[in-house]
């Protein structure tokens, strides 16, 4: 634990025990993000971390509980089962505060603090545990024992190694039906609930053989921007972002789980000129004990060519015909 954090928490510090298994140790520091005290916590073995935002004197009085809750939330976000998390916290025992383990640990923590600063504009004021940033903050490869590894994968591997033969991984998977409106083109996919809308966008591009060469947008079933349903994210979206940017900031942080827990159906529009409208519906949720990636369960119909004429888009042609009949288009 860093000296600044020690002064802030007013905790007694003991010398770090170099023989302690790093699987059970975490490093922490404190920094100011958007004028708010933020505690940064990093798992020593995997270098996978999280932040506790907007720490107040009330939080400090119960800091042990706050940190344990943060560890629990982070492990759950990375697919560790509830039973294993409870066992892990029990094995960790009472929290003790020590000096940093070594220089390497300090270097990794400093780098993670830089990552936190980079994402400062995406912090949601009303959240202490920034769940929408858990994946993004841990995307970069880190060097452990001479090899570059994904800290999220390293975390899961560490838990599987420490609890062999047990159901360590428990992911909530969304089974989604994706229909290209006006065609016979249909896909059913299985995707982790923690995946972001941006990752869902990439999946759809692959499934329909698109090349991500045009703008896209996710909307509610009523055709409204998703920030209507998720006002806490609306500060990420400046006026016109959805129309002018191929990568709206909100899409990177809003997860599949968050979206489909509120709405059973949303829309995805690709190529705002051709207007390929996809209806995405939640079929059901499924718990998965494996760390499986996205998979396509069912395929029906071939996707149309990406840059074909808009008159080949049945949905757009139908809209145009209706306008012609009503005299709105000449």
> The CATH number of 3-162 is which of 3.30.420, 1.10.8, 2.115.10, 3.30.460?
3.30.420
Determine the Cα–Cα distance for residues 247 and 320; give it in Å rounded to an integer.
Answer: 28
Q: Residue 271 to residues 83, 107, 183, 223: CA-CA distances in angstroms?
A: 45, 44, 16, 15
Q: What is the dihedral of CA 155, 93, 14, 128, to 10 degrees?
A: 60
- For 164-198, write each residue's pLDDT tens digit: 999 999 989 999 999 999 999 999 999 999 899 99
User: Residue 31's CB: how many other CB atoms inside 10 A?
Assistant: 18
For 31, residues 6+ apart whose C-beta sits below 8 A from its C-beta are 38, 40, 113, 116, 117
pLDDT given for residue 319 in this prediction: 56
- 3-class SS letters over 93-126: CCCCCECCCCHHHHHHHHHHHHHHHHCHHHCCCC
Determine the Cα–Cα distance for residues 233 and 227; give it in Å rounded to an integer.
Answer: 6
CATH 3.10.290.30, domain 171-326, yes or no? yes
- Structure token pair of residue 171: 């992911």
Write out the residue limits of the CATH 3.10.290.30 domain(s) in the chain.
Answer: 171-326
pLDDT given for residue 101 in this prediction: 75
pLDDT given for residue 1 in this prediction: 52
pLDDT given for residue 204 in this prediction: 96
For 225, residues 6+ apart whose C-beta sits below 8 A from its C-beta are 217, 219, 237, 242
- Structure token pair of residue 273: 């000129």
pLDDT given for residue 57 in this prediction: 86
3-state secondary structure of 217: strand
Confidence of residue 70 (pLDDT cuts 50, 70, 90): very high
Provide the β-strand partners of residue 269.
217, 277
Provide the β-strand partners of residue 175.
190, 284
Give the global pTM.
0.77
User: Residue 20's CB: how many other CB atoms inside 10 A?
Assistant: 13
Q: Which of 122-136, 235-249, 290-304 comes out lowest in average pLDDT?
A: 235-249
Q: What is the dihedral of CA 175, 181, 184, 189, to 10 degrees?
A: -10
Write out the residue limits of the CATH 3.30.420 domain(s) in the chain.
Answer: 3-162
8 A C-beta contact, residue 100 and residue 15: no
Of residues 230 and 270, the one with the higher pLDDT is 270
Q: Is the predicted pLDDT of residue 60 greater than 70, yes or no?
A: yes
- Structure token pair of residue 90: 């029990």
- For 87-136, write each residue's pLDDT tens digit: 999 999 998 888 887 889 999 999 999 999 999 988 988 889 998 899 99
8 A C-beta contact, residue 278 and residue 313: no
């Amino acid at each position: 634990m860093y000296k600044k954090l020690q002064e802030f928490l007013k905790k007694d510090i003991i010398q770090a025990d170099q023989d302690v298994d790093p699987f059970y140790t975490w490093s922490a520091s404190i920094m100011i993000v958007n004028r708010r005290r933020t505690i940064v916590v990093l798992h020593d073995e995997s270098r996978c971390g999280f932040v506790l935002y907007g720490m107040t004197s009330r939080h400090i009085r119960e800091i042990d509980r706050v940190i344990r809750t943060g560890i629990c939330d982070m492990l759950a976000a990375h697919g560790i089962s509830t039973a294993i998390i409870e066992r892990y916290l029990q094995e960790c025992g009472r929290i003790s505060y020590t000096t940093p383990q070594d220089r390497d640990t300090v270097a990794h923590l400093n780098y993670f603090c830089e990552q936190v600063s980079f994402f400062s504009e995406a912090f949601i004021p009303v959240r202490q545990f920034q769940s929408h940033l858990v994946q993004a903050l841990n995307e970069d490869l880190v060097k452990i024992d001479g090899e570059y590894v994904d800290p999220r994968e390293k975390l899961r591997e560490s838990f599987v190694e420490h609890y062999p033969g047990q159901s360590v991984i428990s992911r909530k998977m969304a089974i989604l039906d994706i229909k290209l409106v006006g065609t016979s083109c249909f896909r059913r996919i299985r995707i982790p609930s923690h995946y972001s809308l941006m990752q869902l966008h990439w999946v759809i591009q692959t499934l329909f053989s698109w090349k991500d060469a045009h703008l896209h947008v996710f909307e509610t079933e009523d055709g409204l921007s998703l920030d209507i349903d998720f006002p806490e994210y609306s500060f990420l979206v400046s006026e016109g972002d959805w129309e002018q940017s191929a990568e709206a900031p909100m899409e990177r942080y809003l997860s599949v789980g968050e979206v489909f827990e509120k709405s059973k159906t949303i829309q995805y529009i690709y190529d705002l000129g051709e207007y390929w409208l996809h209806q995405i519906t939640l079929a059901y949720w499924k718990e998965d004990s494996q760390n499986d990636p996205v998979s396509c369960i069912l395929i029906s119909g071939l996707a149309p060519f990406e840059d074909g004429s808009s008159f080949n888009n049945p949905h757009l042609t139908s809209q145009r015909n209706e306008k012609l009949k009503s005299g709105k288009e000449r």
